[in-house]
Structure 1
């Protein structure tokens, strides 16, 4: 007889529990919760609560377009201003009380279904019993000027209200019907400027996530949107930079006219411009490090701005002329005490040689590049840029192992191209510096006391004059491109102040006055330079 061997008690219990877990008792099986019973949508319930077209779902829409219902039920109106949009395949977001929604019998899903908004779009909202109501969406598209569009949408469509805080977002350059290169990029944006930031129409600084060429201009990360809010013509900066580009200054900013749409709001006509930066495509000098503290490495490169605002973290005033010098590069993250001492001593040596004696010491020519100082002066005087005499936006740079150079040019929207038959800088010199913030001009009165410098100016003027004589034609060509944009801009903004003496004129008349003042100044300077 065989003996039956029983399994251990623990193993037996485990097996029973396993078997029990595999058996589902009908009485204990959990049924899915169906949720609340759907409410019946009646005809009286049917309603379109909101309708919008957002940039997240539509590539060439530069801000959310919100439709508004008319007082009479049934029609909803939306508007895209400042740029020409492709309305043929737009995805709308809507909130509706309806059993289902259709357009031309096609079922609609909010945020997913595209429709042709170049014509009225009829939304049909159905009740459960098949009755329906219709709502017609009409999307107007006006204000197209012919200029390319810079469309910017910040994260969360947050406003740009500070010159210090960068706001992340996206930027698209839409050529519209032009021929420029297009661009879609991650960016950061903030405000910029001093006097210009106080105006209603704000200027902005743009920082691309990666260096890119923009609208045919050289690759870089940093760009500015000049508002030209105080310039009736909107042309002054553009014309001045073109004059500079016809000299031999090493680099002068390039720019393009654009329309700006920020978070769906059309802001008017802007000038997308290269910003002054140390870069091989801009101010091409050595980017210094904190280790550049001895020998030739200490000699450059430095980027300086002589400016009355005197607002950079690192700055100094010169010994003889009390000029306010801002050290732009190396910046505050890099600049060492030794570097600051070197460049301050260098500038003070230039002033000593020019200003300490009754006549300039010719040795100053070992310290500055007189050709660049001649060219910078020619452009400033030809444009009659009074801001430089304060001084304002007077840039200089010094490359490693080389002389101090004048430039680049910057800031010509105010107090320029004004009628005058006198020089700004050649004969102007302030000697009483007791008043803080008083006018201080550059070294040109002393420079022109040197016959060598005066002769170089005369020589370079004669070389450039044929190119300067075609600037009025350049103004005509730019004005033709800008005409519609300028009209739209001044329909939006009010110009205040009397900086350029054309503020009360119509735009066309202001452009004609700009040309006349330039031509008169060109003729006057030609006669004066001939006497040098």
Structure 2
């Protein structure tokens, strides 16, 4: 790592000539610098620099090695901040303490820290406080995820959301790279400003909460909560006022959970116990980012005394969000109905938001808030990411010289983390594209005019489950229980139409289409549903697509299908175990089919569904693609890279790419939209490649597959999605 000693060692050596007693101090170099020794501090990039000099009376503590050895090692220091755009915001030789912080992030090579000044300080224009957090963002190879989430929460007006600034950090002259200095989540002036002496700040912490002095489990969801802070302070033992409040909050949360998890929840009572607005804003920040921590840890709530309701927030800890993972259950699919299903997808943790979404009133409020407050903020995120990236470009390039992690396996468990690009610009592009796709999906999923789908499943040994709302998982996962029947309907529609359903039942086959509110499948006969078809009628069908999928025995989640297509595997003796249903606004759909070795042309599939084969080592030889009619003119343009031929010419939807009857493999493809469609929609696609497996999604003319490697494409997925600004 780069170490900048500047004039510090020379100054100490000069002192040693005048004062022999300082010779040992000079030998310790910058790692044991005395705070009274002045040294020029200069920025490392265009960002402000925070320079920390360790200054413990015990010289053996004045090393980064000691500081990083334990989070419990607190080292007195002096702090300079230079390079602020407003010189008045620079700080000089301030007394402070520095220590490590974090849980998972503390285990990584680049460490996060906490600075505590001896008196409250304004840092880079942020409100004065003593304690500040330096986030290393080492798990986030774009360096932007926490900033994106924190600023979104602030723009939505979620109280006490952390303010933050990008900086460079050095300790004892050693350049540690790019950091985000941010406000700490704590009960203090200019932080979480509780007024009542009985006001409490709680953390949902199923991961690490047992290490805290005060923690408890809720009775219904078995969630571990921690008393994180209090207006009256957290001491051992607690003061009588705080102890009473701590006892009362446990009763309060248990009462709230009994209401949330009731088969028929009472929204009037639920909404009287929570600040619905803060819960909605908190939800949208976590759902936009698909933060898997929502069921696990770093999830905060506060209640300002016995007469207050429970508030959600502040937000915290987005290192593993926004596409950091590549798997849906950990938030890797930008088109997942994520937060409302996170506890089911992860098969662990707290499910409060899933229970809230069972209430049509909460769904309606979410739709209204999205239209009025959220949509514009989320649609602006891609341009904000570009702005953040431009701001930290110099610092980021330095950071990855110090910490060479680009192009290497993710720090997350093998097979779960996204494929880290070889350049920081590539990582920023990946984040931007992921957020753009997520924003596009949310734009189609929420809004005041979007109808609410309501459905329930009848499950073996359980019976009828509680009714779910749009996008929620109905049924069970991991319990080997069959779905036997289903009832589905909708409400809040502004156009005429209904939802119809058809079920394929063990020993009976397809039952035939039934209207809304009718039971499809059977009850009391012990027969499994093996397939389901759903469709819309009248103007509802003209305005929306109904999209649904099934979780099938031995197969897991099957691909999403639409508008009367079959979900499940009817006739194969495999039970459906769970289903999801959602409405999506009409737009151009990609429809495509593959010509496969030994099979020939396979049936057409639509948006995002797999075409081809996997696990059979069969090459795709040709691909035919078309886009359905939509509100804009234009077409699809695509070309293939074929064995022994190379790149073919670009063609439109009237023909196919590749070859038939020649036994040649399709090795790569490029797809783009034309005309007005290109201005309003994007096409994304990916290939399953011989010896490689699924590649990452690519967009709008980029290459999927390989060239020059002689590898066949075996499966493709293609979809057209709305663009965001």
TM-score, structure 2 normalization: 0.51
1:503 to 414, 420, 444: 420
Contact 2:47–2:166 (CA under 8 A) maintained in structure 1: yes
1:92 corresponds to which of 2, 7, 11: 11
Of stretches 154-163 and 213-222 in structure 1, the one that deviates more from structure 2 is 154-163
Is structure 2 residue 204 aligned with structure 1 residue 306?
Answer: yes
The 5 A counterparts of 1:287-326 are 288=197, 300-308=198-206, 309-310=208-209, 311-326=211-226
Alpha-carbon distance in 2 for matches of 1:340, 1:145: 47
My pick for the range that moved more, 493-502 or 267-276, is 493-502
1:380 to 274, 277, 286: 286
Q: CA deviation at 1:472?
A: 1.4
| Structure 1 unmatched runs, 5+ | 1-77, 98-107, 112-138, 289-299, 432-436
In 1, the alpha carbon distance for the partners of 2:288 and 2:105 equals: 23
**Alignment-derived partner of residue 426 in structure 1:** 340
Q: Is the CA contact 1:167–1:188 (under 8 Å) kept in the aligned structure 2?
A: yes
Pair 1:370 & 2:276 matched: yes
Partner residue, 1:327: 227
Give the corresponding residue for 2:52.
152
Change (3 A) 1:263 1:349: same
* Alignment correspondent of 2:443: 526
CA distance in 2: counterparts of 1:505 and 1:146, whole angstroms: 24
What CA distance in whole angstroms lies between the structure 2 residues aligned with 1:492 and 1:80? 13
Distance (Å, rounded) in 2 between the aligned partners of 1:257 and 1:392? 25
The 2-side partners of 1:307 and 1:80 are apart by 40
C-alpha distance in 1, partners of 2:87/2:11? 30
Judged with a 3 Å threshold, the aligned counterparts in structure 2 of structure 1 residues 306 and 93 are, in CA distance, closer, same or farther, namely closer
Equivalent residue of 1:516, what SS? helix
1:47-126 to 2 correspondences below 5 Å: 80=4, 92-94=11-13
* Shift, 1:355, TM fit: 1.1
Equivalenced residue count is: 396
Q: Deviations over 1:39-79 (max 9, x none)?
A: xxxxxxxxxxxxxxxxxxxxxxxxxxxxxxxxxxxxxxx97
Q: SS state of the match for residue 479, structure 1? A: helix
For the 8 Å contact 1:360–1:447, the answer to whether it is kept is no
Q: Does the residue aligned with 1:459 lie in a helix, a strand or coil? A: helix
| Paired residues of 2:3 and 2:174 also in contact (CA < 8 A) | no
Residue 397 of structure 2: which of 487, 510, 523 is its match? 487
Q: 1:256 to 1:429 in 2, by over 3 A?
A: closer
Distance 1:153 1:364, change over 3 A: same
**Distance (Å, rounded) in 2 between the aligned partners of 1:345 and 1:420:** 37
Structure 2 unmatched runs, 5+: 21-38, 324-331, 453-725
2:152 to 240, 243, 249: 243
Secondary structure (helix, strand or coil) at the match of 1:146 reads coil
Alpha-carbon shift at residue 364 of structure 1 (Å)? 1.3
In structure 1, the partner of 2:590 is none
- How big is each residue's C-alpha offset from its partner over 1:131-150, in whole Å with a ceiling of 9 and x where there is no partner? xxxxxxxx999993211111
Structure with more of its chain in strand, by fraction: 2
3-state SS of 2:127 partner: strand
Residue 457 of structure 1 and its aligned partner are, at CA, apart by: 1.0
Which of 243, 252, 255 is the matching residue for 1:349? 255
Q: Give 1:90 shift.
A: 11
* Shift in Å, 1:358: 3.4
- Given the alignment, which residue of 161, 166, 170 partners 1:257? 166
* In structure 1, distance between residues paired with 2:40 and 2:159: 47
Counting only pairs closer than 5 Å after superposition, residues 142-181 of structure 1 correspond to structure 2 as 144-155=44-55, 156=59, 157-158=62-63, 159-160=66-67, 161-175=69-83, 181=89
SS at match of 1:80: coil
Secondary structure of the residue that 2:53 maps to in structure 1? strand
Q: Which residue of 2 aligns with 1:396?
A: 301
Report the 3-state secondary structure (helix = DSSP H, G, I; strand = E; otherwise coil) of the residue aligned with 1:218.
coil
The 5 Å alignment of 1:268-287 reads 268-286=177-195
**Superposed displacement of residue 425, structure 1:** 2.3
SS at match of 2:4: strand
Greater RCO, CA 8 A, separation 6+: 1
Q: Does the 8 Å contact 1:251/1:408 carry over to 2? A: yes
Q: Distance in 1 between matches of 2:344 and 2:224?
A: 14
1:439 to partner: Cα distance: 1.6
Q: Is the 8 A contact 1:147 1:178 kept in 2?
A: no
